Amino acid sequence: MRFNRLKLNGFKSFVDPTDLVIADGLTGVVGPNGCGKSNLLEALRWVMGENRAKAMRGAGMEDVIFAGTSGRGARNFAEVIIQIDNSERLAPSGFNDSDILEIVRRITRDAGSAYKVNGKDVRARDVQMLFADASTGAHSPALVRQGQIAELINAKPKNRRRILEEAAGISGLYQRRHEAELK
Ligand code: ATP
Ligand code: MG
């Protein structure tokens, strides 16, 4: 799975619609302190189903919505879209009938989050499972937050094991087992 494009609208500091093309190879994000580099990575994590407000550096999930500045009013919703190249058909069954997968997450004040995959309403769980086996997703070890290296070093063994299991790509199996047990 390859990310092609990331679109943001009203997400944190990205109040105006922003469309970023993610080219082949290595992408660097550079800019002065506070310009929104971490917000971009959080947008990626968020659209893949992150449901812990703390991981978004907020008290509640609505804190991802543009909160306003002295010159501009707050927004009522935030939306992030990720476009994925699925030409190798690596997505789970049910999501595998097109070359491009477009995942949309939108949060509206007082109404919570809604997700779509290629225009169809889906559950948060569906989006999380879509990424669970792809060594990516909201909790992917490939997305290293600021301060996370220090956290790994200082972690209790149980938590460090969880991080290593995610890095080894086996945490998706636990999620599937959990899903199976619930059914
Ligand atoms: P650094 O180099 O210091 O790590 P950064 O480029 O990673 O900086 P971010 O942490 O992504 O910067 O962006 C922080 C900015 O985003 C701050 O100016 C903050 O006010 C703004 N911001 C965060 N949440 C919101 C929100 N809900 N509404 C408006 N602005 C927000
Ligand atoms: Mg940062």
At 27-86, the pLDDT tens digits run: 899 999 999 999 999 999 999 999 999 989 999 999 999 999 999 999 999 999 999 999
More confident residue, 183 or 8: 8
Tell whether 119 is in a known binding site: no
- Domain 2-123: give its CATH code: 3.40.50.300
Q: Which of 9, 11, 12 to mutate to test the pocket of ligand 1 (most atoms within 8 A of CB)?
A: 12
| Mean pLDDT estimate for the chain | 89
The closest residue, in CA terms, to atom 16 on ligand 1 is 13
What is the ipTM metric for this complex?
Answer: 0.98
For ligand 1, is residue 38 a contact (CB within 6 Å)?
yes
* Ligand 1 neighbourhood includes 70 CB (under 6 angstroms): no
Residue 130: its pLDDT value, please?
Answer: 87
Confidence of residue 134 (pLDDT cuts 50, 70, 90): low
Q: Which residues of 20-52 are buried (b: 16+ CB within 10 A; e: fewer)?
A: bebeeeeeeeeeeeeebeebbebbbbbbbbbee
Q: Exposed, middle or buried, 5 (CB in 10 Å: 0-12/13-18/19+)?
A: middle
Is residue 175 within a helix (H) or strand (E), and if so which, with residue range? helix 171-182
Residue 2, pLDDT > 90, answer no
Ligand nearest to the CA of 35: 1
Identify the helix (H) or strand (E) that includes residue 177: helix 171-182
Sheet holding 112-117, edge to edge: 18-21, 2-9, 77-85, 100-108, 112-117, 120-122
